[in-house]
Each structure stands twice: as structure tokens, then as C-alpha cells.
Structure 1
């Protein structure tokens, strides 16, 4: 019962037109018709649908129940759904699940303890475990092609997802949490090891970049570390310099 309450809560929050309409406009500025996009951590499918609305071919990954079952029944048939997580290797792993706050369920073993110690997560309980299948970005690329864009929102497991790719990606976004800046700094370092990237954040669900220019890793890290605790989270976009 708690699982379905968590699903209902997520649908009420993330299927709100105040969120979805700006997101759809934003993705139309990032993606061209026919582009391939990966949605890693599809949740209720809001981002996958917005990518599709921009004309992209979408591969969506979601391992968590009941969300995977919900997506299997409701996603448009031309979105390719994979009921798995992405990580550093192909395996089976254990996810810590919050039934009432399923957006913060994570495969990262330390995430519940680390995030739970911050004010923004004080009300969250990780109350059950789920075994999930894990694939890699390299495997997805081998099967579907190089994506124009990869969205990663996996609650502290972003670095592990990027450990499973051996080549630079043209455009990537990861969730950033102001209370846990080191988590995003490590992601920036990993991306820089793959290629020359510039960065630009989107705060919350604003549907627009915060900066008028794309900035170096050092400037982005300084910005992250200067964010006051309790600031609004968002997505950090990384664009490969050679990418258009």
C-alpha cells in the first residue's frame, strides 16, 4: 500500500503542467528530431515524454517498482523501456527504497546515511530493499547507438553510472544537491577525465539555464561549494566542447 501511495505522490508532483510544460519547451531547445536520448532513472516518465515531445528517440531506464510497471503500461510504445538501472558493470544490485518518497531511492550504499543527515532529507525513511538488474552505458550505446543527450537522476549513484561508460558523451545532465556538493564535484571530475566539458546548471524545474555562458569545471565547482545549505536542487548540464 505504501508503494502505491508513493507512486500517487510522485504523479501528483511530477505530472503537474507547471512542471511539464517548461520542461517540454526546454528539451526542444536541446534536442533535434531524430536525436537519441537516454533517460536514466525515468521515475514516472515525465522527462522521457518531454524528450519524445522534442522529437527524440528515447531509451528509458527504471528499475524501481511500482514505477517500472506503471511505465510499462503508460509510456508511448515508441519509447524503449528497460526495467533496469545503469551502473559500472552488468550485475544485480540492492536498492534502498523509500516507499513514501520513492524519488530518493538509491543504489548507492551510503546515500541513505549521508543524505539522511541533511535537513532536506530528515523526514525520509528508507524502509525496504529491492533487487534490481544493472546494465551499463557502454552496453546501451552498443545496443542503441551514441545518444545526443543522457539525463541521469539516480540519487547519489551518478558517479557509478558514469563509471560504466568509456567514451565522452555529447551532453549529460546530473542532479545536484546543494547539501552534498562533493557528490557532484566527483561527477565533474569523472566527466573531465572523459573529455573537455563546460557546464551550466538549471535550478529546480525552471526549464532554463542559470548562466548565459557555459563555464569551466573550476568555476562550476566554486559555484557548487558556495551554495548555501538548504538551497534548491537542480540539474547540472555538461556539454562536450567538440559537440554542437
Structure 2
């Protein structure tokens, strides 16, 4: 889309309605084939380890809904949790015709219900976080790591709930995807029961301690839990690793990088 038209639509508040319209889907299909391929690759990634069809998925840190769009191909219902007001509006528009298949919660997930300060890089930013350490890491990192100099300009109070409370409300999910910018351990502390599959984002080396704590937390829930790592929608290992083997792998990783951990539990 031509930049002036896009900016005009954004100023009028109409951009998201156009961006998630049938017309734009056709435009994407005809002229943005890489977007289609990226979506298909994401669906294929989740199908590589999830059951053929899931009843329920929790998308924790749903952002603009691109993961939810993939989950709609493999699940009956997706519960999206997104505290950022700008992103939540995008989700409401994007999935306005999805009926009961997509449930939206304008909340963050934590280890307790209540409220907490949410640090704002800018409205809708993927860097917005509840974790002061993550905020500090981003603000002190060199520009070449993120292609921009990160600075947080605001903070707002947001509503919190827990994974246990979501399960009480919606039922046990087949899969929980967690992408919460350094707040993963706190999210997992709000879960006291096993679920078949969980994924969460990791950043090495800055958050190695938190990663090890996340692995230990899941091992507490199920001492038979097994793990894999995923880079760019591809599993690193042909077979899932035991807790101790995953710990050994993490301790050997030296290169700075961001990836996902996928955990599978026995019910």
C-alpha cells in the first residue's frame, strides 16, 4: 500500500478495518505472497508438534493476532490475552467476524490477579512489558540489535489475571503460547496444573536465569515434562529432550539469540 494512503487511513482510525478486510486479503493473495507463505509456515510449525485438531488454545500476549490467525487453522477456540490498548483494538477489528471461535481478554497474565504497571515503548509496540528488568535490558542494548534505540516513554496500570483463573473460566487448553517480553516466569507461576503443551519466548544471554527458572517451574508441575527449542518456526531437535538434557543444552548455548521453548506434559 502506498505510504500516504496508509498514513491517511491510520489518522482516520480506518486502517485496521481496511487491513483486515476481504479486499485486503485478496490484495495480499495477489501481490504479497510472502505474507501467505509466512502464515502457512507458522501453521505448519504448530501442526508439527500439536495434535491434529485442538479444542482450545490460550494465546498469551496476542499482539496483533498473527499467531491467533494460525491457531484458527488447528483449534476450535482461541482465548487471546492482550493488555496493550492499541493491540487489543486491532484484535477486536481483526477477529470481529470470528464469532465464538476467538475470545478476547484485555488483561495481562501474572501470578496473581489485580493491577500492575505496564511499561510503554509506544502504543502497540512489541517491546511493551511488565518486567522492569526487560525494560532496562532494552534501553541499554545497542541499536544494532533491535534496529532502533529503545526508549520507554510511559507507563499505565493494567488488569491482571492468572492462567489458573483462565482455566477455571474456559477449561484446560491443549496448548498455551506465551510471549510476554520477559514476564514468562511470572506467568508460569500462576499455573498450578499440567497442560499438554506450552511454549514461551526466551532471550539469551540476558534472561538465562529466568529461562532456567521457567524450565524448573514446569518440571515442578510434571517431572516427566520434555522440551524442545524452536528457531524461526522450526524445532531444533528431532525428539523432545528431558529436563536435564534441556538444562545442559541451555548451559552450552553462547550466542545471543531469541527463540522459543516448547514443553510437553503427560496428563
Range of TM-score over shorter length:
0.7 to 0.9
50, 53, 70: which one aligns with 1:50:
70
Q: What is the SS of the residue equivalent to 2:46? A: helix
| Aligned partner (choices 120, 125, 130) of residue 102 of structure 1 | 125
What residue is the counterpart of 1:88 in the other structure? 111
Of 50, 56, 61, the match for 1:36: 56
CA-CA distance at 1:22 after TM superposition = 0.6
Structure 1: 5+ residue runs without aligned partners?
none
Moved more, 106-115 or 66-75: 106-115
Give the deviation of 1:219 after TM superposition.
2.0
Residue 183 and residue 19 in structure 1: after superposition, are their counterparts in 2 closer, same or farther (change >3 A)?
farther
Equivalent residue in structure 1 for 2:174, among 125, 129, 148: 148
Are the aligned partners of 2:87 and 2:124 in contact in 1 as well (CA < 8 Å)? no
CA separation in 2, counterparts of 1:149 and 1:129? 31
Change (3 A) 1:101 1:219: farther
Residue 153 of structure 1 and its aligned partner are, at CA, apart by: 0.4
Higher normalized contact order (CA 8 Å, seq sep 6+, divided by chain length): 1
Partners of 2:227 and 2:264 within 8 A in 1:
yes
**Within 2, Cα distance between the matches of 1:74 and 1:118?**
33
Structure 1 Cα separation of the partners of residues 134 and 54 of structure 2: 36
Structure 1 equivalent of residue 199 of structure 2: 173
Alignment of 1:56-205 (within 5 A): 56-75=76-95, 76-77=98-99, 78-99=101-122, 102-119=125-142, 120=145, 123-179=149-205, 180-196=207-223, 197-203=225-231, 205=232
CA RMSD between the two structures: 2.4
1:203-222 pair list within 5 angstroms: 203=231, 205=232, 207-222=233-248
Q: Which residue of 2 aligns with 1:16?
A: 35
Deviations 1:8-30 (A, max 9, x none): 9xx9xxx9334322111122331
Looking at structure 1, the residues matched to 241 and 139 of structure 2 have their Cα atoms a distance apart, in angstroms, of: 31
How many residue pairs were aligned? 231
Ranges of 4+ aligned residues in structure 1 off by more than 4 Å: none
Secondary structure in structure 2 of the residue aligned to 1:150: strand
1:34 Cα deviation (Å)?
Answer: 4.4
| Contact preservation (8 Å) 1:201, 1:237 | yes
Corresponding position of 1:225: 251
- Specify the structure having the higher radius of gyration (Cα): 2
CA distance in 2, matches of 1:39, 1:227: 27
Mapped partners of 2:140, 2:245: distance in 1: 27
Contact 2:84/2:123, CA 8 A, preserved across alignment: no
Contact 2:85 2:123 in 1 (8 A): no
Note if 1:239 corresponds to 2:264.
yes
Once residues 87 and 182 of structure 2 are traced to their aligned partners in structure 1, the CA distance between those partners, rounded to angstroms, is 19
Contact 1:101/1:124 (8 A) holds in 2:
no
